[in-house]
């Protein structure tokens, strides 16, 4: 795994495309194809993830904006479910395709840094052997799509540094406009990138007219979503405080950076740290130093604002690629004995990382999946535990609904404590259940329960809150699945409520929460 040292780039202004090493497609395919197979098998293994259910519910209620994300994921979920109703695999194919694209682009970024065949293969393996970076692509989530879009945008910026073709910046801006409809993280990337380029160069980046034209397009495309947010008192901005509180489960700000780096996996973390070093210290990669500074600025920004540990993961591909070039370039300069030691150590780490990633894939049957020991373990493995219990919950609610009298069923609604519960019932029980409402997160903005409902079947929630709104609150069922999340499918009481005390229009705003 030794490549010749990278040649100096200079300013990148006069570099020619044919000066780069050839693209090692067979080497990259040896990583990307097995990764795609793992993703496809993982995507068809377990049931709907809670957020996927929410996207399906939101897709049936199209809008320019939602409380906690843009309209792209709901529309995409609706499209895929229309093409193949009830298919987990088809629903998740866009995330699978984007993740495999990110793996290939990681190798192509190594090529942009003058990395040869081994550097390209190592970069692709570094990305694909991260359980987080790879397996997030087995579900349709905002982060899986957002991370991949960051990788594509970063690749376009890196190519601009080498070619100075301003059309690449316009393309990056157009993708940014799409990403703004996924989640509102990409502005942090551009602000950090602009600050880093002003500090380290190329300062010309922030002066390019097509970049500013692209920025205007991004703003124009985001106006409908901004108007929706303004009409609803900016719930997406309020999510920052909620997310910051959730991060306390994973160590809060104290462990933010170490846990963020650990997301890259064993091999990926080594390449990430090595990539930061070579970008900051190697003269050969001087034109791209601003990328390392960008990642460091993002760490600082998300640390201070209480962001989640994976928010900067979209920058990992470009830094891992630099690290792969750094490893192979260093190996080329070492004496034979030290070279063999370095190659052996990296190979051993690669084998271990690959084995751990395969071990982390959701291949176990449901009856062999161990329940989480605590909230922290559940939060780390949220993709696994967030995919269980929905059918059991739906069956129990249907049973409780069928036990109502015909008169009660004629004017009944379902009220859930969490948006995951509401989304599950909306997807899995909509042919057997009445309208579903929830004050939780984005579901609370969909609709307010009608005042003419004579019976409310409440799923979970605090008994005291229910008794403050109803004269009669009686337990009529219980859901407590072996797997799942506490409060969603575990230790959940079903309540039959009647005798409403106040109009919902007065109570609902106070009940709504993010």
User: Alpha helix locations (H) across 369-441?
Assistant: 375-380, 382-385, 390-402, 406-410, 419-428
Rounded CA-CA distance 427/406 in Å is 24
β-pairing verdict for 436-437 and 412-416: parallel
Max CA pair span of the chain: 85
Per-residue pLDDT at 485: 87
Q: What is the pLDDT of residue 1?
A: 61
The alpha carbon of residue 20 and the mean position of all alpha carbons in its chain are separated, in whole angstroms, by 33
What are residue 472's DSSP bridge partners?
Answer: 498
Cβ-in-10-Å burial (0-12, 13-18, 19+) of 282 comes to: buried
Q: How many CB atoms lie within 10 A of CB 441?
A: 22
Residue 9: the pLDDT is 46
The rounded distance, in Å, linking the Cα atoms of 50 and 383 is: 9
Beta strands 455-459 and 412-416, pairing class: parallel
Q: Is 232 exposed, middle or buried (0-12, 13-18, 19+ CB in 10 A)?
A: middle
pTM of the model: 0.92
Q: φ, ψ for residue 457 (rounded to 5)?
A: -100, 105
The per-residue pLDDT for 227 is 95
Bridge partners (DSSP) listed for residue 478: 493
Question: How far is residue 435's CA from residue 506's CA, in Å, rounded to a whole number?
Answer: 20
- How far the first Cα of the chain sits from its last, in Å, is 49
Question: Could you give the C-alpha distances from 270 to 240, 453, 485, in angstroms and in order?
Answer: 30, 59, 33
From the list 254, 25, 256, 239, the residue with the least C-alpha distance to 121 is 25
Alpha carbon of residue 209 to chain centroid: 31
What's the pLDDT score for residue 10?
40
Residue 299 has what pLDDT?
96
Q: What's residue 459's pLDDT?
A: 96
Task: Walk along the chain (514 residues) in steps of 10 and give the mean pLDDT of each run.
Answer: 50 50 91 96 90 96 92 97 94 97 98 94 97 94 96 98 96 97 95 96 94 96 94 85 61 80 95 97 94 97 89 97 96 90 92 92 84 79 88 96 92 95 96 95 93 91 89 94 90 93 91 89
Tell me how far apart the alpha carbons of residues 167 and 172 are, in angstroms, rounded to a whole number. 9
């Amino acid at each position: 795994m030794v490549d010749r040292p990278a040649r100096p780039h200079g300013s990148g202004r006069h570099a020619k495309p044919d000066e780069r090493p050839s693209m090692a497609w067979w080497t990259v395919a040896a990583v990307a194809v097995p990764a795609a197979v793992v993703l496809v098998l993982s995507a068809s293994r377990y049931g709907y993830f809670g957020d996927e259910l929410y996207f399906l519910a939101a897709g049936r209620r199209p809008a320019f904006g939602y409380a906690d994300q843009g309209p792209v994921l709901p529309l995409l979920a609706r499209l895929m479910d229309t093409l193949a109703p009830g298919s987990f695999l088809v629903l998740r194919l866009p995330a699978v395709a984007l993740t495999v694209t990110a793996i290939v682009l990681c190798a192509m970024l190594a090529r942009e840094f003058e990395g040869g065949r081994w550097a390209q293969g190592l970069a692709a393996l570094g990305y694909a052997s991260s359980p987080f970076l790879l397996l997030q692509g087995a579900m349709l989530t905002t982060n899986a799509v957002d991370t991949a879009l960051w990788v594509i945008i970063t690749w376009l910026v890196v190519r601009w540094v080498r070619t100075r073709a301003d059309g690449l910046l316009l393309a990056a801006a157009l993708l940014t406009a799409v990403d703004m409809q996924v989640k509102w993280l990409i502005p942090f990337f551009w602000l950090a990138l602009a600050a880093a380029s002003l500090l380290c160069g190329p300062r010309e980046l922030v002066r390019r007219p097509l970049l500013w034209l692209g920025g205007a397009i991004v703003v124009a495309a985001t106006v409908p979503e901004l108007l929706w947010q303004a009409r609803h008192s900016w719930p997406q901005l309020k999510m920052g405080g909620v997310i910051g509180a959730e991060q306390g489960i994973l160590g809060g700000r104290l462990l933010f950076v170490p846990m963020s780096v650990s997301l890259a996996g064993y091999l990926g973390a080594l390449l990430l740290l090595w990539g930061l070093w070579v970008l900051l210290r190697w003269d050969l990669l001087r034109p791209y130093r601003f990328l390392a500074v960008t990642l460091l600025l993002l760490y600082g920004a998300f640390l201070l604002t209480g962001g989640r540990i994976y928010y900067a993961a979209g920058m990992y591909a470009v830094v891992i690629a630099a690290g792969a070039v750094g490893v192979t370039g260093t190996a080329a300069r070492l004496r034979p004995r030290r070279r063999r030691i370095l190659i052996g150590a990296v190979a051993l780490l690669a084998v271990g990382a690959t084995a751990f990633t395969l071990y982390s894939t959701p291949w176990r049957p449901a009856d062999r999946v161990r329940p989480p020991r605590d909230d922290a373990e559940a939060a780390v493995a949220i993709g696994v535990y967030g995919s269980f219990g929905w059918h059991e919950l739906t069956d129990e609610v249907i049973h409780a609904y069928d036990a109502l009298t015909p008169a009660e069923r004629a004017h009944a609604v379902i009220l859930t404590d969490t948006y995951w519960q509401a989304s599950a019932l909306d997807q899995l029980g909509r042919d057997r259940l009445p309208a579903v409402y929830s004050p939780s997160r984005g579901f609370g903005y969909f609709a307010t329960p009608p005042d003419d409902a004579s019976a409310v079947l409440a799923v979970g929630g605090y008994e005291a809150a229910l008794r403050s709104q109803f004269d009669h609150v009686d337990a009529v069922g219980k859901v407590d699945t072996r797997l799942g999340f506490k409060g969603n499918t575990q230790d959940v009481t079903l309540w039959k409520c009647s005798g409403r005390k106040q109009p919902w229009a007065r109570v609902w705003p106070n009940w709504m929460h993010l």
